[in-house]
Amino acid sequence: MSQAFANPLRQIWAAGGTALNGWIALPSPLAAEAMMQAGWDSVTIDLQHGTAEYADLLSLLPIIEKAGAAPLVRVPWLDEAAIMRALDAGALGIIAPMVETAADARRLVSACLYPPSGARSFGPIRARLARGDAYGSVANAEIVPFAMIETRAAVDNLNDILAVPGLGGIYIGPADLSLSYGFPPGFDREEPEMLDLIVQILKRCTAAGLPCGLHCGTPAYAGRMVSKGFGLLTVGSDARFLEAGARAAAAAFRAA
């Protein structure tokens, strides 16, 4: 197999659309197959706060790919080894937490891209099987390195971060960002200060020509954010959907 491949996220953005991103916190292939019935544009496997390990990528990524979504991985930290292993397993995008400086962003991009654009070591053990023998010649153009913006320092340095060549996008983490500005953690911020901050980050990303993603807790909130111009919106997670469904079922039974 030698054909080139395309990242569904980049296709959506090229058409001016907003990607709906799912979130996997549970390392269950069955749960992942159930999640994929929803028709997500992309799905992120969370290795930072989720319960999956590297080995789980080998069973979860094929399920996401089979459904036609872009497989993303949030790595545990800004760590080159973790980033390269996730890419070699087949991820088409990396979300790196706690990026605070241009130097951090350069480390992220370098780990995601092959020379001469970066320093990624060549060895796409599963990525080549999933994407074909042309993987090495196409990967740099299709991989999306996302820098998470979730601290005051990151906001202060945002213009420098956005100027890093090869950066694929920004992903706003509202929980840690809120903590950094003195608010309790959580999604779907309604405080005027936080809403304004999120919109200002988005505007600066747009001005730099980069898509901006936002983690949302509810479909209603994500729907409101579409009109503001976000390139990617995450809604909930498998763990939260399971919890909400179980609570609703029990409450409905008791009410009846």
Domains of the chain, first to last: 8-255 (3.20.20.60)
- The pLDDT, as a whole number, for residue 4 is 74
Among the listed residues 49, 66, 203, 224, the single catalytic one is 49
A 10 A CB-CB count for 23 gives 24
Alpha-carbon dihedral sign for residues 45, 49, 50, 54: positive
pLDDT at 1 over 70: no
Per-residue pLDDT of 19-35, as tens digits, reads 999 999 999 999 999 99
49 belongs to the catalytic site: yes
The length of the chain is 256
Distance CA 74, CA 205 (A): 20
Which pair of tokens denotes residue 201?
Answer: 């980050």
Per-residue pLDDT of 198-211, as tens digits, reads 999 999 999 999 99
Per-residue pLDDT of 198-250, as tens digits, reads 999 999 999 999 999 999 999 999 999 999 999 999 999 999 999 999 999 99
239 bridge partner residues: none
Mean pLDDT of 71-90: 98
Mean pLDDT of 72-99: 98
- Tokens 């789980």: give the residue: 56
Per-residue pLDDT of 11-21, as tens digits, reads 999 999 999 99
How many angstroms separate the first and last alpha carbons of the chain?
57
φ, ψ for residue 196, nearest 5 deg? -65, -40
pTM, entire model? 0.96
Per-residue pLDDT of 164-201, as tens digits, reads 999 999 999 999 999 999 999 999 999 999 999 999 99
Q: Are 72 and 21 in contact (CB under 8 A)?
A: yes
